[in-house]
Amino acid sequence: MKDTLEIRWHGRGGQGAKTAALLLADVAFETGKYVQGFPEYGPERMGAPITAYNRISDNQIRLHSNIYEPDYVAVVDETLLESVDVTAGLSEEGGILINSTRTEKEIRPLLNGYKGAVYLIDARGISERTLGKNFPNTPMLSAIVRICEVMDEEDFFGLMLRLYQHKFASKPEVVDGNMEALRQAFKEVRNG
């Protein structure tokens, strides 16, 4: 039986996929979990495809490698569906989360025959409404926490508030906007 949750993030340089993976590791650690959060480094540049990973477990994690058979995949930029095999190795028991305004019917043909759950969220729209800019990683982080059920909703929001208050101590408006993005995303992520 698998006791470690594995998540693979796909995005483009500058969209915050790496930051989302690291934040998820930070908040999961605060709940007493063993965690890993790391990017796959290569010749990344702004706009180039990047990959980041999370492992979350109640037990010590002894594996130190990229994730080839994830339980969940988060796709921060839907244009990657046409150029990267984001469903490679993805468990049909888990699911894929995609930042998109399209429907599952429109997205499904781009998933290389993947038959598992498809979750959709308009992370860009949420980000632009709450933060005034396209920072899709914050809504994507909240959506992945919800669909994976990594932790209780209120624990997640409380931990993120503390983290943001520390990180943005001199910019309280950034804290408020990010917290609102998290709350909206938690409500708005949809299955198919």
Mean pLDDT computed over 3-23: 94
Task: Report domain extents, the chain.
Answer: 4-191
Cα 7 from Cα 76, distance rounded (Å): 13
pLDDT digit string, tens, across residues 73-129:
999 999 999 999 999 999 999 999 999 999 999 999 999 999 999 999 999 999 999
pLDDT digit string, tens, across residues 140-157:
999 999 999 999 999 999
One CATH from 3.40.50.970, 3.40.630.10, 3.40.50.2000, 3.40.920.10 for 4-191: 3.40.920.10
Which pTM does this prediction carry? 0.94
Cα 89 from Cα 65, distance rounded (Å): 15
Q: What is the pLDDT of residue 44?
A: 59
SS3 state at 161 = helix
Q: Which stretch of DSSP H or E encloses residue 117?
A: strand 117-121
C-alpha closest to that of 8 among 43, 42, 39: 39
**Residue 116 and residue 69 in contact, taking contact as beta carbons nearer than 8 Å:** no
Q: What is the pLDDT of residue 80?
A: 96
